[in-house]
Amino acid sequence: MYFGSVRFFKHLILTVVFGWIAVSTFFAVFFGVKYNMEKKKEPSEPVVSVSSDGVLNVPDGTTVEQVYLALAAKGYGPEDIMEFLRQTDEDAVDRFVKENYGSIAAETAVITEAPETTVSAEDAEPSESVTEVPVSSEDKPYTKLYPELYAEYPESFGEDTKTVYLTFDDGPSDNTLMILSILRKYDIKATFFMSGSTTEKGKAIMEQVAAEGHAIGVHSYSHDYEKIYESVDSFLDDFNNTYNIIKDATGVSPNIFRFAGGSYNDYNHEVYDELVAEMTRRGFVYYDWNVSAQDAVVKPTWTYIYNNVLDGVKANTSNRQIILMHDSADKYVTVTTVEDIIVELMKDGYSFDKLDNTVPPTQIVKY
């Protein structure tokens, strides 16, 4: 009898074994073909290299974006990559940056010291840095918007001392709480330029920032560059929304702010003068930065952020170090770097403080 015999079980075992082999082979071939098809959809990685004398070698047909990604993978920073790329096709680079990285172009913009006064260069003290007085906006319709949106502009700015001002943009988030814990450990006050939040958790975090004595400034709620820089009216809409979200959550009426993308960027050329004039008329002081962690430009590593900050501090000629970092939900790597930056700068003799509207501002050069 075949069923139940030794021969039956032998054939059964062989059938199962060969069945599994067949099934495994099918899936291996299927997913192998699928993987190769998907790979064909992606651009192949270009063989990009940099010679010992700093010359960029790029294969024919390689796009600007492919070169950028390849160099980023090799560990080059954005500024070095842009310099290399301009060796090949400067016009193409300019188009690429404007189309793909316009919102963060200000991260690598030239920074200068802000005006200490609004007097003419002839009347200023030699140590002061001055710029032209902003255009008048008194006769513009937007001056009638938001009649409660005013602050008291300082009569003068304080001294330029050897101080580090840690500033964090785009919060609140859980990362804000971790940064607060680090600041508490070292008894340091910092400045948070907030986008704001309408959630209960977000409101609680903002309230905690204020309760622990840190400075709070207005950033942008939407970060929609094309919209907020479409006109002064649009900017005021976004600013007023963020201002009231912060005020309602914390009880603080901010008198300092940071423009989204920096005060002068690829989106606000046409309204820059009016924006600065109107916000100054309303009594608000804006702060850019003179050191950037560049943690919003690429996917950063601990080493990348750490070196950017410390190298930036060493290269900065100003006593005050206004350091740009971010505390949004995706910036955990920034959080892991903050304590090490604090420790190292303490070794160099820096003290830490929060910004207020009497600290001399640092502002991006209009280009």
Helices (H) and strands (E) in the chain, counts: 11, 12
**Spatial contact of 259 and 210, defined as CB atoms under 8 Å apart:** no
Per-residue pLDDT at 288:
97
pLDDT in tens, 98-144: 544 444 444 434 444 443 333 332 232 233 333 344 455 567 999 99
The per-residue pLDDT for range 214-252, each reduced to its tens digit, is: 999 999 999 999 999 999 999 999 999 999 999 999 999
CA distance 166 to 152: 24
What's at 255, amino acid-wise? N
- Which residue would you say has higher pLDDT here, 272 or 87? 272
First-to-last alpha carbon distance for the chain, in angstroms, is 95
Q: Which helix (H) or strand (E) holds 364?
A: strand 362-364
Query: pLDDT by residue (tens digit) across 249-287?
Result: 999 999 999 999 999 999 999 999 999 999 999 999 999
- What confidence score (pLDDT) does residue 86 get? 58
Name residue 362's beta-bridge partners. 113
Six-digit token string for 107 = 């991260």
Q: What is the DSSP string of 186-236?
A: TT---EEEE----SHHHHHHHHHHHHTT-EEEE--SS--HHHHTS-HHHHH
At 301, list the tokens.
């590593």
* Cα gap 267→261, rounded to integer Å: 9
Strand duo 163-169 + 351-352: pairing: parallel
**What architecture (CATH level 2) is domain 111-364?**
Alpha-Beta Barrel (3.20)
State how far the Cα of 268 lies from the Cα of 262, in Å rounded to an integer. 10
- Burial, 213: exposed, middle or buried (Cβ in 10 Å; 0-12, 13-18, 19+)? exposed
What's the mean pLDDT in 30-53?
47
Q: What percent of the chain has pLDDT over 90?
A: 58
Predicted pLDDT at 298: 73
pLDDT for 337 equals: 98
Residue 230 burial (CB count, 10 A): 16
Average pLDDT of every residue of the chain: 78
Is 101:64 a contact under the CB 8 Å cutoff? no
The dihedral formed by the CA atoms of 310, 314, 318 and 319, expressed in degrees to the nearest 10: 80
Which of 198-202, 208-212, 317-321, 341-345 has the least mean pLDDT?
Answer: 317-321
Q: Return the pLDDT at 89.
A: 62
pLDDT band at 160; cut points 50, 70, 90: confident
Residue 29: what pLDDT?
40
- Separation of alpha carbons 327 and 196, rounded Å: 12
Spell out the domain ranges in the chain. Answer: 111-364
Query: Minimal CA–CA distance to 232: which of 184, 271, 266, 193?
Result: 271
Say whether pLDDT at 208 is over 80: yes
- Cα separation of 46 and 49, whole Å? 9
> In the prediction, which pLDDT does 16 show?
45
pLDDT of residue 213: 98
